[in-house]
């Protein structure tokens, strides 16, 4: 049994955030026609070819009949042959009057094993001369006025030959030409099939991609503001270069996945009204060495021809890794590609009006050469949106969604810390699908909540649980929830459920009132008390323990360890850094800092002290408020899911007093000081 609780709707690794969505930027990736259908067309073409050939050769009235030499000689003797053409032993010829062969008479004694031939009538024939034909043969023909022709007799035959001989080849070639044209028009496959060195860059605006403007970008205002200047430059390059100043060439967009880097780049192009060439860096590098560099050249050439324009290189870290650090194999190819990008960027003056935007979520691994002046010397950080940002993004994506009156976007924004723009877009989409499935005309708040739960925890799991199990789960979740209400400084409890979902058998959601960028110690302790509340409730009620607290224990231990090792919250150890800071984009960083064994023991002691203290506090509070806990559990067993209002109603508890909140707007600089979410 495992019921990780108190999950914050943090972005989970398997959030099906982006990908399946109609995103426009993937449009050029695939041919619009599935390969299977192309094979069908190919087959059809071959079939048509076959039947045409058969018709012309077999079905035609003038198809020659094959006659024995004796019959041929007879017909010549009768004066019924006008002309022949001979090549080696084979002769073709034309009758005066059509002849039917084989005749009914000759058919009967047909030799066993001889191929049965259907009687046919024709004015042309073929035959084979026996080797013993003497010199008198020619005279014999002349006597019977047979013209000996220098050219093949069967006039219609060249077509047959052509189709038989070259038809399939011609059709195949035509088919490929057609395929290539199509692909070239789409800018997709043609590149990889026929011109490896062609960049597969897609001109977004030509693909029928909707024009994106800053209107479509929300919640990342700082990044947006920094790009306004780029737009201005593209619109009016002369203004900048008039006094000899040089224009921006490269801008690096840094931010977590799904924060809208691609969207921003498109918006810059859209605002400036210039072509947008986009390409993922991973696409540059193929198995064949040298291809990457050629593609880069081609990409820049295209962009320059259509300047002013924007080149967008996604995931630049996949080729821009510091040289020499790349894993063996493929490294030289990456290096070449990277060098080509550097060369191209040095090559244009900046007056040409080509601006290169590149995106990455790992700026620290990039080769320093990429970041030098004249290259990607500007860096724009795209942060995960804060509460107001999330609200704005939800507004953008619900523009076309019919929302019911009960939908509270600010509330939704406050329950979704850690979600990116792409996640929020996905949330709106899931909620709309859910509402449609429920035959509603509008999307309700409940649809959003259910969609969020599904995204964060996975779909509901139909588990058949005994009454005893359900009760135990209800007490566990009830413990988390009650403590969330009782402990000063804890996040408000937003929702409790004992519906199994994904890995969890039950969930208690708490939502921060504001985005916090700086966490007071009391808040951290309140969180640990809440995390330990599930197990504590089980102990108070049943006096026994289960495995259900595994992920609670994991989270609480991590938090306590960070308090001691990173945030100087142990009096015994003081403000000594014992664990490295975490990369905000990569989660926990590897490596550890050196310290003595004695310190290690002290760390363990201090962590244990925090955990034990919080555990005792949880037990004490729950014993004291057993009545409220029982009431909450009764309601949970009955209704399975309770929201904030219902929880306060059934427990009769007032919302817990809050610690002083940080004023909104206090933000860390860039990506530096943001505490990793817990
Ligand atoms: N700030 C935002 N405002 C509005 N929509 C957003 C925002 N951020 C992301 N989205 C939505 O999410 C989609 C995907 O975002 P986008 O591809 O721009 O993210 P990204 O940062 O480039 O991600 P990746 O690093 O994975 O390439 C966008 O098309 C857009 O619909
Ligand atoms: Zn729990």
Residue of 24, 252, 262, 424 with the most ligand 1 atoms within 8 Å of its CB, for mutation: 262
- Which residue CA neighbors atom 17 of ligand 1 most closely? 262
Block residue for tokens 């969609």: 451
Ramachandran angles phi, psi of 379, nearest 5°: -130, 125
Q: Which CATH class is domain 387-457?
A: mainly alpha
Question: Which helix (H) or strand (E) segment is 92 a member of?
Answer: strand 90-101
* 552 labeled part of a ligand binding site: yes
Distance (Å, whole) CA 386 – CA 221: 11
CA of 84 to the centre of ligand 1 (A): 79
What positions carry a catalytic annotation?
A: 477
Decide if 508 contacts 456 (C-beta within 8 A).
no
Is 219's C-beta closer than 6 angstroms to any atom of ligand 1?
yes
Phi, psi of 551, deg, nearest 5: -75, -25
* Domain 63-106+115-155 in CATH 3.30.720.210: yes
C-alpha distances (whole Å) from 422 to each of 9, 17, 403, 418 are 15, 6, 20, 11
20 alpha carbon to ligand 1 midpoint, in Å? 13
Residue 330 sits at φ, ψ, to 5 deg, of 75, -10
Residue with tokens 């099906």: 16
CA distances from 470 to 312, 481, 540, 622, 636 (A): 53, 16, 17, 19, 9
Q: Which string of b and e fits 58-68 if b means at least 16 CB within 10 Å?
A: eebeebbbebe
480 is in an annotated binding site: yes
Q: Do domains 387-457 and 467-651 have the same CATH topology?
A: no
Q: Which of 24, 251, 259, 390 to mutate to test the pocket of ligand 1 (most atoms within 8 A of CB)?
A: 259
CA gap 275, 417 in Å, rounded: 35
In short, whether 530's Cβ falls inside 6 Å of ligand 1 is no
Q: Does residue 224's CB lie within 6 angstroms of at least one atom of ligand 1? A: no
Domain boundaries, the chain: 32-57+161-186, 63-106+115-155, 196-382, 387-457, 467-651
Residue-level pLDDT at 628: 94
18 alpha carbon – ligand 1 mean position (Å): 8
SS3 label, residue 232: helix
Instruction: Give the pLDDT confidence score for residue 608 in this predicted structure.
Output: 95
**Low-confidence stretches of the chain (pLDDT beneath 50):** 1-33, 59, 108-114, 186-194, 206-207, 326-328, 584-590, 658-678
Q: What is the rounded CA–CA span in Å between residue 599 and residue 88? A: 104
Give, rounded to a whole angstrom, the gap between the first and last alpha carbons of the chain: 23
CB 274 within 8 A of CB 203: no
262 has binding-site annotation: yes
CATH code of domain 467-651? 1.20.58.760
481 with 493: CB under 8 angstroms?
Answer: yes
CATH of 196-382, one of 3.90.1150.10, 3.40.50.410, 3.40.50.300, 3.40.50.10540: 3.40.50.300
pLDDT score recorded for residue 19: 32
Residue 220 near ligand 1, beta carbon < 6 Å: yes
Q: Which two tokens stand for residue 78?
A: 């009768």
Determine if ligand 1 sits within 6 Å of the CB of residue 259.
yes
Structure tokens at 368: 């320093």
User: Which ligand does the CA of 548 lie closest to?
Assistant: 2
Q: 455: Cβ below 6 Å to ligand 1?
A: no
pLDDT digits (tens, 9 = 90+) for 339-377: 888 888 887 765 677 888 989 888 777 878 888 887 888
476 labelled binding-site residue: yes
| Cβ-based neighbours of 188, under 8 Å, separated by 6 or more | 28, 29, 30, 31, 200, 202
Nearest ligand to residue 256 Cα: 1
CA of 675 to the centre of ligand 2 (A): 23
- What is the Cα–Cα distance from 628 to 624, expressed in whole angstroms? 9
Determine phi and psi for 101, rounding to 5 degrees: -145, 145
Specify the pLDDT at position 286. Answer: 59
H runs (alpha helix) in 590-677: 597-624, 626-639, 644-651
Q: Which long-range contacts (CB under 8 A, 24 or more apart) does 139-148 make?
A: 140/76, 141/76, 141/84, 144/76, 144/77, 144/79, 144/81, 145/79, 145/82, 146/76, 146/81, 146/82, 146/83, 146/84, 146/93, 147/82, 147/83, 147/84, 148/83, 148/84, 148/85, 148/86
Nearest-atom number in ligand 1 for the CA of 263 is 18
Sheet holding 354-360, edge to edge: 202-203, 276-280, 309-314, 354-360, 250-255, 378-382
- Distance from residue 372's CA to the centre of ligand 1 (Å): 27
Any atom of ligand 1 within 6 Å of the Cβ of 562:
no
């Amino acid at each position: 049994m495992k019921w990780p609780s108190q999950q914050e709707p943090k972005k989970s690794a398997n959030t099906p955030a982006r990908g399946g969505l109609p995103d426009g930027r993937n449009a050029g990736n695939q041919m619009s026609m599935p390969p299977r259908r192309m094979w069908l067309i190919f087959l059809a073409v071959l079939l048509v070819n076959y039947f045409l050939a058969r018709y012309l050769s077999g079905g035609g009235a003038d198809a020659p009949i094959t006659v024995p030499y004796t019959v041929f000689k007879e017909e010549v003797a009768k004066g019924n042959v006008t002309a022949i053409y001979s090549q080696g032993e084979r002769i073709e010829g034309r009758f005066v009057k059509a002849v039917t062969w084989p005749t009914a008479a000759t058919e009967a004694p047909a030799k066993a094993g001889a191929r049965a031939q259907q009687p046919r009538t024709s004015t042309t024939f073929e035959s084979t001369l026996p080797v013993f034909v003497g010199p008198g043969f020619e005279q014999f023909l002349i006597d019977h006025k047979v013209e000996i022709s220098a050219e093949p007799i069967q006039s219609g035959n060249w077509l047959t030959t052509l189709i038989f001989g070259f038809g399939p080849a011609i059709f195949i070639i035509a088919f490929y030409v057609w395929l290539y044209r199509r692909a070239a028009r789409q800018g997709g496959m043609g590149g990889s099939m026929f011109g490896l060195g062609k960049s597969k860059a897609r001109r977004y605006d030509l693909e029928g991609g909707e024009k994106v403007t800053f209107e479509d970008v929300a919640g990342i205002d700082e990044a947006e503001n920094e790009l306004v200047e780029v737009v201005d430059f593209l619109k009016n390059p002369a203004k900048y270069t008039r006094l000899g100043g040089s224009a921006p060439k490269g801008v690096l967009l840094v931010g977590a996945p799904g924060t809208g880097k691609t969207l921003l780049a498109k918006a810059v192009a859209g605002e400036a009204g210039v072509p947008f060439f986009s390409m993922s860096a991973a696409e540059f590098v193929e198995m064949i060495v040298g291809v990457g560099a050629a593609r880069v050249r081609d990409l820049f050439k295209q962009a320059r021809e259509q300047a002013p324009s924007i080149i967008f290189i996604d995931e630049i870290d996949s080729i821009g890794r510091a040289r020499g650090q790349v894993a063996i194999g493929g490294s030289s190819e990456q290096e070449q590609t990277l060098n080509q990008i550097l060369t191209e960027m040095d090559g244009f003056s900046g007056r040409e009006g080509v601006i290169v935007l590149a995106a990455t979520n790992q700026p620290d691994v990039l080769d320093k050469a990429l970041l030098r002046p004249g290259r990607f010397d500007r860096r724009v950080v795209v942060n995960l949106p804060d509460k107001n940002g999330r609200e704005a993004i939800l507004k953008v994506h619900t523009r076309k969604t019919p929302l019911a009156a009960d939908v509270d976007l600010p509330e939704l924004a406050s329950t979704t810390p850690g979600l990116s723009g792409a996640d929020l877009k996905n949330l709106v989409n899931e909620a709309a699908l859910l509402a449609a499935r429920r035959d509603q005309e509008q999307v309700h708040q409940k649809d959003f909540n259910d969609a969020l739960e599904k995204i964060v925890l996975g779909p509901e799991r139909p588990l058949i649980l005994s009454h005893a199990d359900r009760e135990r789960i209800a007490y566990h979740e009830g413990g988390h929830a009650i403590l969330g209400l009782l402990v000063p400084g804890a996040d408000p409890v937003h929702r409790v459920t004992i519906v199994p979902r994904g890995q969890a058998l039950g969930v208690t959601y708490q939502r921060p009132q504001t985005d916090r960028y700086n966490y007071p110690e009391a808040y951290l302790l309140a969180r640990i008390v809440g995390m330990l509340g599930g197990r504590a409730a089980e102990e108070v009620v049943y006096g026994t323990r289960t495995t259900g607290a595994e992920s609670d224990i994991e989270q609480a231990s991590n938090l306590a360890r960070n308090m001691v090792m990173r945030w100087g919250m142990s009096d015994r150890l003081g403000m000594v850094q014992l664990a490295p800071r975490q990369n905000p984009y990569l989660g926990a960083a590897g490596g550890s800092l050196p310290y003595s064994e004695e310190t290690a023991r002290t760390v363990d002691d201090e962590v244990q002290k925090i955990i034990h203290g919080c555990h005792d506090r949880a037990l004490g509070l729950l014993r004291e408020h057993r009545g409220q806990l029982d009431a909450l559990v009764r309601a949970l067993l009955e209704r399975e899911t309770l929201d904030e209002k219902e929880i306060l109603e059934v427990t009769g508890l007032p919302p817990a007093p809050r610690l002083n909140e940080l004023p909104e707007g206090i933000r860390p600089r860039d990506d530096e000081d943001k505490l990793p979410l817990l």
